[in-house]
Amino acid sequence: MRPVPLSTGARRHAPLAGLFVVSLGASLATMDLAVNVAFPSITDAFTLETRSIRWVVISYVLTYSSLMLAFGRLGDRIGHRQVFRAGLLVSVVALVLCALAADYGSLLAARIVQGVGTALVLSCAPALATLLYDESRRLRALGSYSSLTALASVIAPLIGGASIAALGWSGVFWFRAPVAVLALLLLPVIPHARQSPPSTHRGAPDVAGPILLATSLAFLLLTPALLDASRSGWLALLTAAIGLAALGACARHELRAQHPILPPALIRDPDFVLPNVAGIAVHFVAFAVPLLAPYYLTRIAGYAPIESGAVLALSPAGMLIGSALAARTAGVFGVRRTALLGGALVAVGSLTIALWPSLPWLALILATLMLHGMGLGLFQVAYADIVVAALPRQERGVAGSLTMVTRTVGVMSAATALTALLHAIESRQSASGASAAVAFESAFGTVFLCAALLLAVFLALSALRRRTWRGE
């Protein structure tokens, strides 16, 4: 069916309307922050240890992070809109399955299905957003897209807290199903006139490369979680071996491929590699807030779920502000310096969060979350522009997917490493006679201190190469 020609006024407003629909679909993923508010409720409902809650994150994030680049490449070949639509359909089904889960195993299985839907949506959402506008407005498009999805993150903890109060933990899944349906119904609003250009790749699609990449990512990301969960460690070693073998096979295949997923020249360029490593490091540290702050606010500060959600909303509110300011900040300081500034603010915010147990002032908590979120918003938009600018326009699916993969690798690593560190410190404190509250406070502060220092050291070392953060 041919698209109906748009009037002059409609054409002027079509990109903005299309950007709203794309952001609405992508917000299904950012609204997953509401699940973090439900962590204490899920832990209690299924009688879990605190450390076991990480599998709610791992099962979901592992799935979409391993599939993202493969789906991004698929979108570049067959069309971003088609892949985006499929993701919305899968997400509707998955959210209902999550809400209806009768036991913890069923919930984790449904989260895997949700991860597939999220991978389909997020692999092509940034591509659709940037291709709605001319290249001269690419950074502003990324900033607007990030701002709209950040707005969903602001709302999500508030709705999540209210949903938990009304429906229990399943409410954080129920309220998103209508959002997915609405995005599906509004999909025709995205204008056809500025869809991605046809792929220049001819011949049969390269299936082996994406499959090998997805396999290697899945097994390597699963290894730390299994190492922590298995006492013997043999299963983790087997998983790591499979992941490394798949990664080696993928590297060999890509070197010989006519159209590799990423050009080898970029992989060898430190000024491209270091910002991507920074993407992992920043999100590793940043995820400590939605992962651990709900427990502090509930167990130590004594907030109810809806109050905890309201406080946590300050972090995505900061992201909203940071994303909105990113284009203007980049115009003054440059894109790469803006990314560095954003990462530094995340480190400073994390360092200040480490002081919460000693200085439990509400004003400090709110200001810290806002600062932390602003840094993350600045970094995400600037980093996305660095990656998108490095790849051809017809490969926007791969470019957008890469920014999401680095983010989710950081989240995945944090879900395993930070919860393990928290548990280890809590156990040591409890063994020495400390109460549960004191043990948690000590572990909470130490985890955030270590995370902040890790990010600060990485950014300082990467800044020794002047072109990485100063060259444009």
Q: Is 48 helix (H, G, I), strand (E, B) or coil?
A: coil
State the CB neighbour count (10 A cutoff) for residue 150: 28
Q: Write the pLDDT tens digit of every residue in 217-247.
A: 888 877 877 766 555 567 878 888 998 898 8
Written as one letter, the residue type at 32 is D
Burial class of 225 by CB neighbour count within 10 A (0 to 12, 13 to 18, 19+): buried
HEC sequence for 5-67: CCCHHHHHHHHHHHHHHHHHHHHHHHCCHHHHHCHHHHHHHCCCCHHHHHHHHHHHHHHHHHH
**Cα 386 to Cα 272: distance, rounded to the nearest angstrom:** 8
Cβ atoms of 462 and 386 within 8 Å: the answer is no
Mean pLDDT of 52-67: 83
pLDDT for 192 equals: 64
Domain 14-189+259-470 falls under CATH 1.20.1250.20: yes
Nearest to 132 by CA among 196, 60, 37: 196
- Which 8-state DSSP code applies to residue 350? H
pLDDT for 281 equals: 95
State the CB neighbour count (10 A cutoff) for residue 422: 23
φ, ψ dihedrals at 359, nearest 5°:
-125, 75
Residue predicted with more confidence, 309 or 373: 373
Q: Write the pLDDT tens digit of every residue in 355-410.
A: 998 888 888 999 999 999 999 999 999 999 998 888 887 777 787 788 888 887 88
pLDDT for 198 equals: 47
pLDDT-above-70 percentage for the chain: 91
Domain boundaries, the chain: 14-189+259-470, 207-258
pLDDT for 471 equals: 63
Q: Write the pLDDT tens digit of every residue in 21-44.
A: 998 999 898 888 788 778 888 888
Cβ atoms of 63 and 90 within 8 Å: the answer is no
Single pTM value for the model? 0.78
Q: Measuring CA to CA, how many Å separate 368 from each of 295, 359, 418? A: 17, 12, 19
Place of tokens 């080696």: 248
Cβ atoms of 371 and 382 within 8 Å: the answer is no
pLDDT for 460 equals: 94
pLDDT for 164 equals: 85
Mean pLDDT of 421-437: 89
Q: What is the four-CA torsion angle of 198, 200, 204, 208, rounded to 10 degrees?
A: -110
**Which long-range contacts (C-beta less than 8 Å, at least 24 apart) are formed by 246-255?**
246/212, 246/215, 246/216, 246/219, 247/212, 247/216, 247/220, 249/212, 250/209, 250/212, 250/213, 250/215, 250/216, 253/208, 253/209, 253/212, 254/209
User: Token pair of 435, please?
Assistant: 């109460």
User: Token pair of 365, please?
Assistant: 């908590």
Buried b (16+ CB within 10 A) or exposed e, 1-14: eeeeeeeeeeeeeb
Whether the predicted pLDDT of 126 surpasses 80: yes
Q: Write the pLDDT tens digit of every residue in 330-351.
A: 889 999 999 999 999 999 999 9
Nearest to 129 by CA among 18, 6, 11, 25: 18
pLDDT for 7 equals: 43
Whether the predicted pLDDT of 195 surpasses 80: no
